[in-house]
Amino acid sequence: MTHTDQLAALKRPLPETLAAVLALIFADRYSTTQAMREHHGRDESRYDAMLPDAVIFAHSTEEVAAAVKLCAAHGVPVIAWGSGTSLEGHVLALHGGVCIDLSQMNAMVAVHGQDLTATVQAGVTRKQLNEEIRDTGLFFPIDPGANASLGGMAATRASGTNAVRYGTMRENVLALTVVTADGRIIRTGTRAKKSSAGYDLTLLFVGSEGTLGIITEVTVKLYPLPEAISAAVCSFPGTGSAVNAVIQTIQLGVPVARVEFLDENGVKAINAYDKLALPEKPLLLFEFHGTPASVAEQAQLVQEIAAEHGASGFEWASRPEERSRLWAARHNAYFALLQLRPGSRAISTDCCVPISRLAECILATRDDCERAGLTYAIIGHVGDGNFHVQMLVDPSNPADIARAEQVNSDMVTRAIGMDGTCTGEHGVGMHKMDFLVEEHGADAIGTMRAIKHALDPNNIMNPGKIISW
């Protein structure tokens, strides 16, 4: 029996009394239909669906607290749901239970433009937030690609294409409203830029993947819209030369806003999917933010660095529609890659290493993929040492899956050996629990487990994720 099978075998039934009370409270926002449960029992990971027993749609923090308190009284698991775009099995109902869908909690609570902050309900998506504040001259820069919810982004400590300049959710969340495992409502942090007051509960819940509590409101930092934005794309003779150009750019302190890498397989996929005509060679996609003068200076310096590493075909995209088309193609890469092997399923994984080891780690991983005979692509937010491997497998072929998982294991072990991490932004979920132990060691995992036991003594908050009970 696999680890997943063992966990699924521990599924706890939903008591009839609890079901009746939840149905009374939430009325038509309570569902036990097969279709609704199936929708909330899967994400973008390679795992088969694992269904909750019931789904409720919450509209307020108080409703979430009421539902959690009821579930806690019956020892029933609770899984928070944002937009279902996670990649490591974060939202799968291993033990059944109640899925609390926060997508209808999508109100803007407050925007404080003078303080460069906004407070939103957890179901607000990043695109919705930027649409709501577009007339203020501000924007929220964290962009993981998918139109994820802010609550989910905080829970998984998301980052994305802009992280090289603006950081991740860890650096951009100031405060949270959280429902704890016993149904209490707490607020962590304030809108102040810094604090020395007590334990940092905000950062404890950021990245906790719903295993310690449910995030219902998020206060984030905003940034002034750049006066000028320019993008550039260029091709390289090989993966090593492209990544080394990025390393030199970062080491020289050039403040690029985004720098994305796509290998030749990734370029081939987006050309077909988005009807582009990019050279099917390793590619870098840059974006520069600042004043017109600073953008021009950054771009010129990067062009010179790229040329030293054999880059060709430098093309500029200064008009918004040109930039949007390039970044849309990058964000569509996951779906574009699936077309390289129709009927396949993606095993998508990531790691992050110190920037000086990035080229070495990517090249070794590419060699592993080639030896395994996989259909794959390597794509990365390489400006911060993070890259992703998407491997396409036949979901009905265990040997195919095993080859991809071996590449994943070798890649992660290599990254940890380089003083890197098993995941730069996907999170742990179910898929990387063993690697977390490898990265942190038994004593550190024991400390994490002690925190979990203290805050969730009955193991009802998204059980079976991050650490074993």
For residues 440 and 83, what is the distance between their CA atoms, to the nearest angstrom?
29
- 223-277 confidence digits (pLDDT tens): 999 999 989 899 999 999 999 999 999 999 999 999 999 999 999 999 999 898 8
Q: Tell how far CA 97 is from the center of its chain.
A: 24
Shortest CA distance to 79 belongs to which of 24, 40, 121, 29?
A: 40
SS3 257: coil
With cut-offs at 50, 70 and 90, classify the pLDDT of residue 147: confident
Average pLDDT, the chain: 93
> Is the pLDDT assigned to residue 34 strictly greater than 80?
yes
- Give me the phi and psi of 309, to 5 degrees please: -105, 20
The residues near 373 (Cβ < 8 Å, ≥ 6 apart) are 403
pTM over 0.85: yes
Shortest CA distance to 466 belongs to which of 216, 215, 205?
A: 205
Task: Report CA-CA distances (Å) from 252 to 169, 235, 242, 248, 450.
Answer: 25, 21, 16, 6, 42
- 365-408 confidence digits (pLDDT tens): 999 999 999 999 999 888 889 999 999 999 899 999 999 999 99
SS3 53: coil
For residues 306 and 441, what is the distance between their CA atoms, to the nearest angstrom?
40
For residues 36 and 26, what is the distance between their CA atoms, to the nearest angstrom?
15
- 115-125 confidence digits (pLDDT tens): 999 999 999 99
Give the number of other Cβ atoms within 10 Å of residue 316's Cβ.
Answer: 14
For residues 186 and 175, what is the distance between their CA atoms, to the nearest angstrom?
11
DSSP calls for 340-368: TSTT-EEEEEEEE--GGGHHHHHHHHHHH
Tokens coding 253: 């302190």
SS3 407: helix
pLDDT at 13: 79
pLDDT at 6: 53
Work out the burial of residue 279: count CB atoms within 10 Å of its CB; fewer than 13 is exposed, 13-18 middle, 19 or more buried: middle
pLDDT at 9: 57
With cut-offs at 50, 70 and 90, classify the pLDDT of residue 1: very low
For residues 208 and 418, what is the distance between their CA atoms, to the nearest angstrom?
25
- 53-64 confidence digits (pLDDT tens): 999 999 999 999
> Is the pLDDT assigned to residue 8 strictly greater than 70?
no
The residues near 208 (Cβ < 8 Å, ≥ 6 apart) are 155, 466
